[in-house]
Amino acid sequence: MSSRTHVMGILNVTPDSFSNGGKFFALEHAKAQALKMAEEGADMIDIGGESTRPGSEAVSLEEELNRVIPLIKELAKTLFVPISIDTYKSEVAYQALDAGAAMINDISALRFDSNMASVAARYNAGLVLMHIQGTPKNMQEDPHYDNLIEEIKTYLKESIRLAKQAGVTEDKMMIDPGIGFGKKVEHNLEILKRLKEFTGLGKPIMVGTSRKSFIGRVLELPVEERLEGSLAGVAVSVLNGANLVRVHDVRESVRVARLVDAIVKS
């Protein structure tokens, strides 16, 4: 990871995405959006075929593969930035990497599928290890922490250990504290405020605040009106040590990240 902050564009190819309501479910629309985000400055595109919004139901392996693999094969021919696969299923990761993806973004940090780390190691792929409390279906029912930051760090330390044990090299790992994944509003705000504390784990940090419900709760705004809140989240994340931000609004986020980088690194 270089000295500047990188930007990951989110591409959800699901009919029930919380942020776009299935806008990019069709292959051609999804392909066009990926190319558009790359042109706007995205350093990589994160493709997901299963919604992990609070309360969401899991989809079958076959359905997830049908959603993401044809798109990855198509984009691998034309996209000039790396592709990340957003999945916690090792078979989806395996087929995505085989089709041309270069990174795995696992919301469970290897906890939902014990084969995930070996898949990452086999392909020498990048691996994002994200903290979650519970599962997408139940994670927001009543999340509780006795010591928020330390509990997240302990979880991520164990995931790093599991990845190393499976043969994933140190330079391929990245951590994500999991904004919105088993967290109340006050938890998310505290994570952003204390983000620098995660640098002690010795891994680049990814943060995803884009359009999330805590922004809506603080500003009392629906998902389609959370651009300014999302950009504030990007700015604070970069200011406090994020190496990669995961966003829906690429052009605006790239501009914010570049300016904050210029201020912080001047």
Local structure of residue 58 (DSSP, 8 states): P
Local structure of residue 8 (DSSP, 8 states): E
Instruction: Map residue 29 onto helix, strand or coil.
Output: helix
Neighbours of 52 (CB within 10 A): 24
Question: Are the C-beta atoms of residues 134 and 143 closer than 8 Å to each other?
Answer: yes
Residue among 103, 106, 110 nearest 159 (CA): 110
Set 31, 153, 172, 212: catalytic member = 212
Helix boundaries (H) for the chain: 27-39, 61-78, 90-99, 116-123, 148-166, 185-193, 213-219, 227-239, 250-264
Active-site residue, 246 included: yes
Active-site residue, 23 included: no
Set 211, 246, 251, 258: catalytic member = 246
Quickly list DSSP for 73-89. HHHHHH-SS-EEEE-S-
Q: Which residues are catalytic?
A: 212, 246
